[in-house]
Structure 1
Amino acid sequence: MTQAIASPPPGVPVLDIDPFDYPFFDDPYPRMEEMREAGPVVWLSRYGCMALARHAEVYEVLRDWERFTSARGVGLVDYAKDARFRPKSLILEIDPPIHTRTRSAMMKVLSPRVMRQLRENFAVQAELLVDRLIEMGSFDGVTDLAEQFPLTVFPDALGMKREGRDNLLPVGALVFNSYGPENEIFLASKPLAEKGFAWLEMQCKRENLCEGGFGKAMFDLVDQGQLDEREGEVTVRAMLMAGVDTTVNGIGGAIYALCSNPEQYDLLHADPTLARSAFEEAVRWMSPAQSFFRTSAVDTEISGVPVAEGTKVFTLMASANRDPRRWDEPDRYDIRRNSVGHLGFGSGIHMCVGQNLARLEGELVLAALARRVRAMELTALPTLRYNNTLRGYATMPMRIISK
C-alpha cells in the first residue's frame, strides 16, 4: 500500500469517500457529484490522496505529464516508494523519452491505414454475429455479444492463436484491479488470472504469432531496431490489454444504454450511420475506464491549491464525463450529442492507444444491429463486474426483435 501523505493542504475539502468499495461501484454518480460540488480539488482521507472530479482539472492533469507523472504508477502505489507486483506498462507507466518510442511503435502498427484495412473483415464478422443473435432471440448481452466480438476479431487481427483466449479477460481484470488498493475485489481476481499470465507471456513471443497480423508487424519494428526483443513482446501484450477489456466494457455499456433508452435505439435503427456517435456517447456516459492516478513530480498547484511533490492525484474521468460545467444534461444518453472532448479514453500522451480500434469495433457491431434489429430490451437486471478501474457488466439478459 502506498504511503499516504499526512495531511491535506489547508482549505481543501476532506471527504470520507471510498471510491473502491461495492456501494460506490453500485451507484457512483451521487458520490461523484458530491466530490465535484465540494471543490475543484478534494482530499480522500481513506487513501491520503487528492481527487479531481471536474472536467477542467482532470483534463489539465492528464495533459501535463511533466508535472503529473505516470512513471511512478497510474495506480495507488507509488513506484518511487513501494514495491510492485508486476512489470511497469511500457505505455501507461513510462514517460518520454522511452514512452515516445514505444507509443510511436504501437501507433504505426495501429495506424488509421491499418484500421481501414481491418474494417471490411470486422464488418463481415459483425454481420455474422448478428445472424447468430437473431437466431437466438434471447441471449446474454455480455458473453454472447460484448465479449464475443472483441475476443474474436481483435486477437485474430493481432495473429493470436484461438486456444486459450478465455485467459484474456481474467488477466486484464487483475491488471486493472491492481491500480486500486489491495481490497477484496483485487484479491478475488488473483486466482482467476494466475495461469493466464504465463499463457499470455508465451502468446506474445514472435514464434507464437501468425503471419500477417499486427503482432508480427510489431516484431518487424524490432528487426528494424526501433524496439528490442523484450520491448516487442511487452508491447504486443500492452496492445492486447488496450484492445480487449475496455472495448468489451464499451460495447456492453452501449448495449445497456440503448436498451435503457429505447427512443435512442429508435433513432439509431432509423439511421445506422449514427452508430459511431452512439458508441462514442456510450463511452462518455458509461466511461469503461473510470479513473487513473498520477503522481506529482514537482511542487505545483491545481486550481490554486498547492500540490506537494509525491502527492498521489486521483483523476476520475467518469465524473469529468458527467460534469455539468462541461456538458448539458450530462446524465442523459443522447446519440446526437457532440461528445468530442470526453475523457473516456483519457487524454494527453497516455491517451488509450487502442481507441481507434475500440471505436471501429463499437461502430460496426452497433451498425449491424441497427440495420437488422427492430428493437432490443433487457429481460432482467444486468449484474456488474466489479473492478477497481473499469466499469462494465458481467451479465446482461436481453432479447432482440428482428425486422
Structure 2
Amino acid sequence: MTATVPTGTTAPTSDVDPFSHDVLEDPLPMHAALREAGPVVFLSRYDVFALARYDDVHAALVNWQDFQSSAGVGLSNFRYEEPWRPPSLLLEADPPRHDAPRRVLQKVLGPRALRRLRDGWAADADALVDEVLSRGTSFDAVADLAATFPLRVFPDAVGIPQDGREKLLPYGDHAFNAFGPANDLVARGAPRVAELSAWVNAQCQRDVLAPTGFGADIWAASDRGDITPEQAPLVVRSLLTAGVDTTVHGISAILHSFATHPDQWRRLREEPSLARVAFDEAVRLESPVQTFFRTATTEVRIGDVVIPEGRKILMFLAAANRDPRRWADPDRFDLSRDPSGHVGFGMGIHQCVGQHVARLEAESILTALARRVSTIELDGPPVRHHNNTLRAFERLPVRVALD
C-alpha cells in the first residue's frame, strides 16, 4: 500500500502504532514488516517517516547536518512546540551549541576516570552478588541486580546525595516516555513530573554535589570557561537523565540473554574477557533504546522518497540492530559475533557519551556473577515494562546454580 507524501513522491505507508502496548510488548514483527516495506515507510498515524534498515538508520544518525537533533529527538517538534523541560545540551542540540558540553563530558567520563572507578565498582559488584546469593538461588534479576547496582555506584560517581535516589528511575522513565506521543504512558508519569524535575534539578547544583566526582568535574569545567555556569547544571542533568534507566535495562538485557542462551554463559565463564563483547551483543539484540527521532533541515532523498524539510523521521535503532542485511543470524545472542557496529548507543556526534560507563557497570556485575554462578536460567516468565522509547523488563525471575 502506498500513499502520496507531501513532495509528490510515493512511499510505502503503514498505520501501525509503534507506541501501542501490543507493539511495545513484542516489536519484532513490526520491525520486520518495516524493514521489508522499503528504505522509508510513511507512518500515517503520526505523520512521520520511518527508517528501519541498518544502512539507512546508520546514515541518518551520522548526518546531523540534514537531520537535526535540536528540533527534538522525540515526536514533538521544538520548532513549533514548547519542550516540557529545557532541551538537553547533548541529546537535543547540534553544533556548535552541542560541541563544548560534549567535549567536557568526554573528558569527565574518559579512560582516566573509569580506571579510578574500576576496582571500587568490582568490589561493590562482588558485595552485591554475595548479598543476593545469600538470600537464595532464585531471585528477580531486575530488582536485585540490574536496578540496584547502577543506583548504588553511578550516583556516587556523579556525587549526588544518598537521599532521594529512588526518584532517578521514575524521572528517567518519564523523560524517555515523553519522546513518544502523549499517550497513557506519558499520562502515567505526569502527576510526578514537577516533583521529580525539581529534585533532579536540585541535585545538579554545585553546592549539593560532592566535592569530587563527575558533577564536580563538570562545574570545574565551567570555572575554566570550557562551558558556561548556566550550562553546567544542564550537563549534570544529562548524566542523571540518561545514565541510569538505560544502564538498568542494558544489564537486564544481558542477564536475560544469558538466561536464555546457556551455551553462551558457559563460554563467558571460560573467557571472562568477553564480558564487554557480551554486553554490546545484548545491547544489539535487545536495544534498550529502541527509537529516536530527527528533523529534516532540507529535502533529503532516501531511495525513491524525498523527505521534506521540517518533517520528522523516526529511526528504529532496534530494527536496524536485527537487520539481516547487516547481521548474520540476527536473532541469536552470539559471543562469536563482532557487535561493534550496532546502533544501540546511537552513532556519530550524538553517540552516547556515557556508553563506556555502562560497559564498566555491566562488566563488573557479569564478572562477579561468573565467578560464583555455574548456570543461570529463567525461573518463570519475564514481565516487560512498557516505555515509549525504552525496551525494558519489569521483572526477570531467574534461578542459578552455584559452584
Shift of 1:189: 2.0
Shift of 1:270: 2.3
Q: Are 1:300 and 2:288 counterparts? A: no
Q: What CA distance in whole angstroms lies between the structure 2 residues aligned with 1:359 and 1:36?
A: 29
Cα pair distance change 1:174/1:8, threshold 3 Å? farther
Shift of 1:378: 1.7
Q: Is the 8 A contact 1:268 1:274 kept in 2?
A: yes
TM-score (norm 1): 0.96
Q: Residue type matched to 2:47 in 1? A: G
Indicate the residue corresponding to 1:168 in structure 2: 168
Q: Is the 8 A contact 1:249 1:392 kept in 2?
A: yes
Give per-residue Cα distances to partners, 1:258-301, cap 9 Å, x unaligned: 11111211211222221111111000000000000000001121
TM-score (norm 2): 0.96
Indicate the residue corresponding to 2:225 in structure 1: 225
SS at match of 1:187: helix
Indicate the residue corresponding to 1:144 in structure 2: 144
Indicate the residue corresponding to 1:209 in structure 2: 209
Indicate the residue corresponding to 2:245 in structure 1: 245
Indicate the residue corresponding to 2:381 in structure 1: 381
Q: Is the 8 A contact 1:321 1:343 kept in 2?
A: yes
Q: Is the 8 A contact 1:6 1:48 kept in 2?
A: no
Give per-residue Cα distances to partners, 1:367-387, cap 9 Å, x unaligned: 211121111122111111111
Shift of 1:8: 7.2
Q: Is the 8 A contact 2:377 2:398 kept in 1?
A: yes
Give per-residue Cα distances to partners, 1:32-75, cap 9 Å, x unaligned: 00000000111001001100000000001000101000000000
Q: Are 1:79 and 2:78 counterparts? A: yes
SS at match of 1:334: coil
Indicate the residue corresponding to 1:50 in structure 2: 49
Q: Are 1:98 and 2:72 counterparts? A: no
Q: What CA distance in whole angstroms lies between the structure 2 residues aligned with 1:292 and 1:199?
A: 26
Q: What CA distance in whole angstroms lies between the structure 2 residues aligned with 1:337 and 1:192?
A: 42
Q: Is the 8 A contact 2:40 2:302 kept in 1?
A: yes
Q: What CA distance in whole angstroms lies between the structure 2 residues aligned with 1:77 and 1:212?
A: 37
Shift of 1:190: 2.0
Indicate the residue corresponding to 1:121 in structure 2: 120
Shift of 1:9: 4.9
Where do 5+ consecutive residues of structure 2 fail to align?
none
Q: Is the 8 A contact 2:322 2:330 kept in 1?
A: yes
| Runs ≥4 residues deviating over 4 A | 5-9
Q: Is the 8 A contact 2:171 2:196 kept in 1?
A: yes
Q: Residue type matched to 2:320 in 1? A: A
Q: What CA distance in whole angstroms lies between the structure 2 residues aligned with 1:395 and 1:222?
A: 41
Indicate the residue corresponding to 1:17 in structure 2: 16
Give per-residue Cα distances to partners, 1:167-206, cap 9 Å, x unaligned: 0000001111111000011111223444221111111101
Deviates more, 1:288-297 or 1:330-339: 330-339
Cα pair distance change 1:9/1:134, threshold 3 Å? farther
Deviates more, 1:315-324 or 1:333-342: 333-342
Q: Is the 8 A contact 1:272 1:371 kept in 2?
A: no
Cα pair distance change 1:301/1:311, threshold 3 Å? same
Aligned length: 399
Give per-residue Cα distances to partners, 1:294-347, cap 9 Å, x unaligned: 000011212342111011000000000000000000011112211010000000
SS at match of 2:98: helix
Q: What CA distance in whole angstroms lies between the structure 2 residues aligned with 1:355 and 1:386?
A: 23
Q: Residue type matched to 2:19 in 1? A: F
RMSD of equivalent CA atoms: 1.3
Q: What CA distance in whole angstroms lies between the structure 2 residues aligned with 1:254 and 1:19?
A: 24
